[in-house]
Every structure is written in structure tokens, then in C-alpha cells.
Structure 1
Amino acid sequence: MDKTKNKTWLDILLNYFMFFTAYLVVSKGLVLILLLLGKNDHYNAGILLFGSACSILLIAGFVWCYKRLELKKYIGNYEPTHQKKWIAFIGSLLGLIIVSYLLTLFVTPTGGTGLLQSSQNMSPYVLGYYFFRTVLLVPIYEEILFRGVLLGAEKWLIPKITQQKQLQILFLVVLVTVNSIIFSSLHNPTNVISFVLYVIFGWISSSLYLYTKALKLSIYLHQINNLLAVLSFF
């Protein structure tokens, strides 16, 4: 049974607005509070714990929304083999590394490191916990939101607009680009190069999910990307 059949546009938009707002609160609001509090590691650790608890709730909420609206079935009918999925994952990772390296030859991207920029004021315990949250936890809810929920909704929307294949491809390109630009903007890019890097990551992750229909692979890609970013910062 199609659970989206009896849903109105208002129902669907309300779901997305609620989860998108929650994402902003957790990813930006808590970081801002932490920076305003300054050097007190006790408060830092407490807010990080609270942020992680909210992140886990977000993951549960995004999964519920993703499954309730059955968005995965809109990604496509083609199902690649297990081997092809992992080849696509490795290719995406290599492509991301190569593009990132080429772009950073011009400017070293900054921004998006959040609390790491004030790492000199934090204890090793807080830094270690932030490392855990940034590398393992945050990519899960960001990928579920941007690739699972939003990209699934975009694919669902396209056939409602047009049945022409060429126009559908064009709309998909436009919506994936908008998705990636929003993703980039929310990561506080401080220059054009870092903004482009985030947009390219959004494109690569979206393409990987559209091809494999395996959200876990885009999550793995995001986790490796964040790991490399954190290690490069240090």
C-alpha cells in the first residue's frame, strides 16, 4: 500500500520543515551556544552530550520520516549488484579525494570545522568526544536528511511536474544542485573553494545514493570525508 497516496502537500512539507528546523537547531544552535560559553570545558562537554542526544533523536525522526513516506522507492528501479555498489563507493571516494586535493592547491579551505577552531581552549576529553560526534554521528543524520529524506522527496516530486524523461533529468540535476548548495551553505564555508568543495561532496554523495540506493554507502563516504577533514586540521 502506498502510504504517500492520501497525503497532501501540506502534510509532506510540514514533515520536512519540522526535521529541517531540528537539524538547524542541533547543528548550528548548539555550536553557537558552546562558542558563546567560552572556555569552560564542563559546559562544553555537557552541550556536546546534549547535542549528541538530540542527534540520535534526529536520526530516529529522519528514519521514521524516510520509511513512512517510502521515499527509497522513488530513487529508481535499477538495482546494481553488490560488487558494483562497492565499486561506485570506492570510485566516489577517490573522486572526492582527487577533486579536494586539486581545489586545495589554490586555497586551503576553512570553515565547517566548528568547535575545532577553538580546540586550544578545550580539554583532550572534549576534543575526543567532538571527534567521535563529528566523524561518526553527524554524518548519519546529515545523510539521512539530505540524501534520504530530501533527495527522496525531490525524486518523488519530479514525476508530479512532468512525464518527459529529458525534463525529468533536467529537474533532477537542478534539485540535486540546490540540495548540494543548501548542504554547503549550512557548513559555514569561508571562501569560494570551501563552498565548492561542499557542493561537490553533495553532488558525489547524491549520485552515489541515486546509483546504489544504499544510504549506508553515502553515510560511510561522509564519515571518511569528515575523518580526513579532522585529521587534516590537526
Structure 2
Amino acid sequence: MMTYLRRQGLRIGGFILLLIAYLSNSILLEFATKYASKNAGLANRFIGAMLIMVAAILVLYTWLYNRQLKRHNPRQFGHQAFNRHRLGQLLLAFVLMLAVQIAWSQLISHHLLPMPTNQSALDGQIQQLPFWNTVYGVVIAPVFEEYLFRGFFFNFFFSKNSPWSNVFGVFVSGLIFGYLHTMTFSVTTLFYASLGWVLAGAYLYFKDIRYSIILHFVNNLWAVL
């Protein structure tokens, strides 16, 4: 029992450290956004530091993820060839995510649900520093978040290939994904969690993290168009 608890403690600690690395990187972008209109030179230095950190985190995440799969990979995650059939299924997953967002926006427009509190903050950041906030939200964030909330999360905590592990893993993965987008438990958390559930389901179904990254990328791209 003590060995199991120690192992789980190390996994939780490792996951938190990987999450902190990602959040620290996003803070650099927040500082760049803050100083964009006040001190362009300082903002550019923050952007430079952010890009260096992005490269370092990407190398770390990719190496660690592939290392984990080599050690223990009962679901046979890897690179599944892209073909018309899989891309069609991926499109259906995007349509599902789009349906969730349309339904949610309709509930907001009819004053049945509140506007997400973080949305206005995100819109303000994009206005202050449009190019880098858009690039980060559309390209960088999907890669890091899929490694964290799908790849590492399942490898650390739900690595067994069983119905219980798959279903509960998808549920918890989406819930954490939703909470970290709102930093509070509210009805809006369920909105982001539902998107996380679709992404987690796609990761397990396609058995290739590139599919969930593409799905996440297309969804975020659609949101800024």
C-alpha cells in the first residue's frame, strides 16, 4: 500500500510540475500583453523568453510522452496513418464540439446561462497583442494541453485498458480541463469540461495524440475566425 501511495504521489507531483511549466509559459505571454502598449521593448523580451520556453517545453513533453509509451502502452497509442475514413470521423468530432458551443451560445443569448467570465479577459488580451495571443491560443495551447490533459493524464493515472479506466479517465480529464479554464466550479466549468470530454474521447478512440491536437487546433481556430 505504501509503495502504491508513494508511486501515485510521485505521479501527481510530476503532473503538477508539467502543468506549472505550461502555466508559467502562459504568464510570460500575459506580461507581454500587459506591456504591449506601455513598453514595446520589454514586451518583446517577454515574447522572446516565451518562445524559448515554448521550444524547451515542447521538447520535454514530446520526449517524456514517447518515453512513457515505450515503457507501458497497453492501449497501443502511437502514430495511426491518416486516411479519409479517420479524417471523416475527426470531422464528426469537431461537429460535436461545434454543436456544444452553438447550444451554449444560444442559452447565453436567451439569458439562461451567464457569459463565461474569462471570455472578456481573453478578448481584451487579443486586442492588446493580437498576433501572439492568437498564435498561442490556436497553435501552442492545443499542443501543450493535449499532452497534459490527454497524454500525460492517462499515462499517469488511467493507464489500464479497461472500460472503467477509460470512462472514468475521460470524465476526470474533462472535468480538470474545464476547471483549469475557469479556475472555479461553476456552470461554465461544464461547458469547457464537455469540450474536454470530446477531446479525451477522440484521444482514446484514435489512439494517436495528433488527432486530438488537430481537433483542438481546429476548434480554437474556429473560435477566433
Check the 8 A contact 2:32/2:44 in 1, yes or no. Answer: no
Pair 99,40 (structure 1): closer, same or farther in 2 beyond 3 Å:
same
**What letter corresponds to residue 92 of structure 1 in structure 2?**
A
Unpaired stretches in structure 2, ≥5 consecutive residues = 1-6, 110-114
Q: 1:198 to 1:48 in 2, by over 3 A?
A: farther
Corresponding residue for residue 196 of structure 1: 190
In the alignment, structure 1 segments of 5+ residues that lack a partner are 1-7, 160-167
The answer for the alignment partner of 1:50 in structure 2 is 49
SS in 1 for 2:54: helix
> What do the CA deviations read for 1:170-221 (whole angstroms, capped 9, x no partner)?
3432232221121112223789554222111111111111011121111111
Which is further off, 54-63 or 105-114?
105-114
Residues 183 and 198 in structure 1, CA contact (< 8 A), matched pair in contact too: yes
Q: Structure 1 residues 31 and 130 mapped into 2: Cα distance closer, same or farther (>3 Å)? A: closer
CA contact (8 A) 1:151 1:206 kept: no
Task: Normalising by structure 1, report the TM-score.
Answer: 0.74
CA–CA separation in structure 1 for the residues paired with 2:68 and 2:16:
15
Paired positions, count: 210
RMSD: 3.2
Q: CA deviation at 1:99?
A: 1.5
Change (3 A) 1:132 1:24: closer
Matching residue within 221, 224, 227 for 2:215: 221
Give 1:90 deviation, angstroms: 0.7
**SS of match in other structure, 1:70:** helix
Q: Percent identity?
A: 21
Look up the match of 2:133. 130
Q: Which residue of 2 aligns with 1:141?
A: 144
Aligned twin of 2:3: none
The corresponding residue for 1:61 is 60
Given that 2:178 and 2:192 are in contact with CA atoms closer than 8 Å, whether structure 1 keeps it comes out as: yes
Q: Scaled by the length of structure 2, what TM-score is found?
A: 0.77
Q: Where in structure 1 do 4 or more consecutive aligned residues deviate above 4 Å?
A: 8-14, 34-38, 112-115, 189-193
Give the whole-Å Cα distance in 2 for the aligned partners of 1:118 and 1:211.
Answer: 35
